[in-house]
Homo-oligomer: A and B are copies of this chain.
Amino acid sequence: MGFNLSNFLNSKSKNRKMIDFQDLDHLDGLSISTVSANLYNAKRDDLVMFYFRDGANFASVYTKSKIVSENIKWNLNQKAKKIFSLIVNTRNANAFTGEQGYKSMQNIAEVISIELTNKQKLDDNEPKLIKPKNILFGSTGTIGEIFPLQKIISKIPELIKNIKYTQNKLIWMKAALGIMTTDTQPKMAMEECHIGNTRVKIYGIAKGSGMIHPDLATTLGYIFTDADLSNDVLKKLLNSNIETTFNAISCDGDTSTNDMVSIFSTSQSKHVKISGINDKNLKDFDISLNKVLLNLAKRVVADGEGSSKFITINVNDAKTEADAKKIAFSIGNSPLVKTAISGEDPNWGRVVMAIGKSQVSIKVNSLAIKFGKISVVKDGKIDPSYSEKDTADYMKNSDIEISVKIGTGKKSFTAYTMDLTKKYIEINADYRS
């Protein structure tokens, strides 16, 4: 596909540290296949299949929106213990598509389950019967448009023909590119860690460009591991790590009908048996999973529509983590704070405003605000050492860190966001026109 990784890395941003890709390669028990189903009228892959030859344990978290897409309804309705395939399409969100959208999921799942069962019979010594309920779907794109069932159905044979049992860097890149909508960069992350003495892999890909586009800006995140973990353990790991990673990012405060983060374990690794979520042998995996999720989440923010700065907001010494989170997002979602940062203006007054409007009780006399390492507010007053000039210099960085101390307790939360630029307006006002 003529994709030059180095050129790509250098194309968008000079200073961002996180743009380096790690090499994802083979992961036992997983196959990836991508095609163009012509969902975009463009020469690009837009339909991606993840195939688990022996099935995978799994867990998912979905959007908290009260209006969810038909593919998510499908996923929620299946009660399978193992997943054999995850299918992700772009361009059409399958949201607000009603019966046509839901039945499309059913049709596609039926065709895929038959075709994959046939493939099992050809390729495997102990072929398994794959059912529609063993198929999950991710969708992202415009809502309210008829779901392109026929286009997708017609490409299933090609998707399955493309399956290879050994994966490499290129196929991961194709998958990460294949799930993109208006993302400018594919998003991949990996960690290796130990369970007992056995090395296991955690690979992940994501899409999301400011949670905002097209139409909604779905965030999708998919994690794959060769570890042997139960659905219950995966669910607990995902739930506990999602709060400080994908739920700690915000671009514009909007939420999609299609958001979905899943983890799949192929169980191919022969490590010590894990007894449950409190098993000490899980600790390293837990930490590494958090790293992969956070790495992907940060990439989503860094690719936020029109963003010129990556913003980290630390809120410390709060009474509860919920308080800290509320303040962090009150700052991170404030258009005034975000425009000040895009204008490289050390306008700490707006940070004070955002803390105040969060409705969380604070100790004003203990309030401290730092921009990077520069102390701006200390003990509820402007720090006597504060220099507007130094702070203005700091604001020229592409990574901006704002730290706030509330002084009501010992809890913390860190949120990640981006600045608000004219480019954002351009992208979102001019879409579809």
Which residues of A are interface residues toward B (Cβ below 8 A)? 63-68, 95-96, 98, 142-144, 212, 215-217, 252-257, 333-336, 339-340, 342-345, 347-350, 352-362, 364, 377, 380-382, 420-422, 424-426, 428-433
Q: Chain B contacts of A144 at CB under 8 A?
A: 348-349, 352, 382
The answer to whether A335 and B428 touch across the interface, beta carbons within 8 angstroms, is: yes
Copy number in the complex reads 2
Give the complex CA separation of A144 and B349 in angstroms.
Answer: 7
The answer to whether A216 and B349 touch across the interface, beta carbons within 8 angstroms, is: yes
28 A-B pairs (CB sep. < 8 Å): A66-B355, A66-B358, A66-B362, A67-B353, A96-B352, A96-B382, A142-B349, A143-B349, A144-B352, A212-B336, A215-B336, A252-B334, A253-B335, A254-B357, A257-B356, A335-B335, A335-B420, A336-B428, A339-B425, A342-B429, A343-B431, A345-B432, A347-B431, A347-B432, A420-B429, A422-B426, A424-B425, A425-B425
Q: Chain B contacts of A339 at CB under 8 A?
A: 424-425, 428-429
Which chain B residue shows the least CB distance to A361? B66
Q: Chain B contacts of A364 at CB under 8 A?
A: 67
Q: Chain B contacts of A215 at CB under 8 A?
A: 336, 347, 349-350, 353
Q: A144-B349, A336-B428, A345-B433 are in contact. List 5 more A-B contacts (CB 8 A).
A: A65-B357, A66-B355, A96-B349, A144-B348, A257-B352
Which chain B residue shows the least CB distance to A364? B67
Q: Chain B contacts of A429 at CB under 8 A?
A: 339-340, 342-343, 345, 420-421
Give the complex CA separation of A98 and B378 in angstroms.
Answer: 13
The answer to whether A67 and B336 touch across the interface, beta carbons within 8 angstroms, is: no
Contact A212 to B349, CB < 8 A, known contacts A359-B66, A422-B426: no
The answer to whether A352 and B66 touch across the interface, beta carbons within 8 angstroms, is: no
Which chain B residue shows the least CB distance to A395? B433
A395: min CB distance to chain B, Å = 10
A178: min CB distance to chain B, Å = 23
The answer to whether A353 and B216 touch across the interface, beta carbons within 8 angstroms, is: yes
Give the complex CA separation of A420 and B347 in angstroms.
Answer: 21
Which chain B residue shows the least CB distance to A425? B422
Which chain B residue shows the least CB distance to A66? B356
